């Protein structure tokens, strides 16, 4: 009797597993998360114009609007921040590109943000970090003390707006660094 009950138990388990496998095979797959935007590479030519964001004149078209964050004037970007050692900081600003900067007409120009953070950075534009696995992506960490050069747009229209968020990282991470996070350079380059 026990042997017969055992065979029934095994048969039921096999049928149950088979029906679960069939149900799993018929279930529609979960929708894939949207892929991040593809990176666009900045030209290696001399820019037609660049705007130094570490000066008051360069920051005139943008400003920090996050009320709970401290406001940093352009020259303050070079100040050492963070607790030293391994630390991370967010910097964020809104940028509106005007029709003209001095005598330079921005219409149709490619605009490239260069953010050079000591020691590394990730750059987010309008809530996205353009990247693809397995290929160079200018918005991701470029290396130790290497600038990020991220294309904001390949054809400027007057009034184009960008929210720029930069995640500064003190490194190297596996060796306790004695320094702090700061900007070596922040600028917008225009290419025509």
pLDDT of res. 154: 93
Question: Residue 116 domain-assigned?
Answer: yes
Question: Residue 34 domain-assigned?
Answer: no
- Which has the minimum average pLDDT: 47-61, 98-112, 137-151? 47-61
Query: CA torsion angle for 125, 135, 144, 170 (degrees, to 10)?
Result: 40
- pLDDT tens digits for range 67-97: 677 788 888 888 888 777 788 888 988 999 9
- Tallying the residues shown for the chain, one arrives at 192
What pTM, to 2 d.p., does this model score?
Answer: 0.65
pLDDT of res. 114: 93
Question: Residue 58 domain-assigned?
Answer: yes
Number of domains in the chain: 1
Question: Residue 19 domain-assigned?
Answer: no
CATH code, 164: 2.60.120
């Amino acid at each position: 009797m026990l042997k017969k009950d055992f065979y029934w138990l095994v048969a039921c388990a096999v049928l149950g597993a088979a029906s679960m496998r069939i149900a799993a095979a018929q279930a529609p797959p979960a929708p894939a998360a949207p892929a991040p935007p593809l990176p666009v590479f900045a030209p290696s030519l001399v820019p037609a114009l660049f705007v130094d964001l570490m000066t008051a004149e360069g920051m005139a078209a943008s400003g920090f609007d996050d009320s709970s964050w401290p406001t940093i004037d352009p020259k303050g970007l070079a100040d050492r921040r963070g607790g030293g050692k391994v630390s991370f900081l967010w910097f964020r600003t809104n940028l509106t590109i005007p029709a003209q900067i001095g005598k330079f007409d921005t219409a149709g120009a490619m605009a490239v943000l260069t953010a050079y953070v000591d020691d590394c950075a990730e750059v987010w534009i309008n809530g996205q970090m353009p990247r693809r696995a397995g290929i160079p992506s200018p918005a991701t960490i470029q290396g130790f003390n290497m600038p990020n050069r991220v294309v904001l747009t390949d054809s400027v229209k007057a009034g184009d707006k960008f929210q720029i968020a930069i995640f500064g990282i003190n490194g190297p991470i596996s060796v306790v660094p004695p320094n702090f996070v700061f900007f070596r350079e922040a600028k917008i380059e225009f290419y025509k």
